[in-house]
Amino acid sequence: MAPPPARPHDTATLALARLAALLRDGDVDAAIEAGLMDVDADAAGDALPAADRALLAATQARLRRAWRARERHRARQARLARIAAEREARRADTPSADAAAKPPLPPAAAAALARALAKASRRSKP
């Protein structure tokens, strides 16, 4: 005799059992593609073994935690890249070290320096 047609509850339970089997086989990618993150393992109640419900819930929690960590990492990398770009832009806007170290002398100071150098060179000659 053929089994009775699956009721909606049985279909959902079969889908959860299939997800649990995929996870036990280590095929997390296939479980995700089959809708792992869209199901509520606790909704199956006693129709699904407690170990399978725990496996589904733990895997969902682990994936959510990993995906949140990945988003935080991406946000941090973007923030660091933005800060580095701002730093480089500030460096490009500042004058070079040579220009900052040797500002031009005002004309009066240049004339006074020239006179002092001339006087010093006259003293050093015998």
pLDDT for 68? 98
Quickly list DSSP for 17-76. HHHHHHHHTT-HHHHHHTTGGG--GGGGGGGS-HHHHHHHHHHHHHHHHHHHHHHHHHHH
pTM over 0.85: no
| pLDDT of 6 over the 60 cut | no
pLDDT in tens, 22-81: 999 999 999 999 999 999 888 777 888 999 999 999 999 999 999 999 999 999 999 999
- Residue at token pair 């730093």: 87
What is the C-alpha separation between 39 and 41, in angstroms, rounded? Answer: 6
CB 44 within 8 A of CB 53: yes
Q: How sure is the predictor about 4, in pLDDT bands with cuts at 50, 70 and 90?
A: very low
The mean per-residue pLDDT over the stretch 83-91 comes to 93
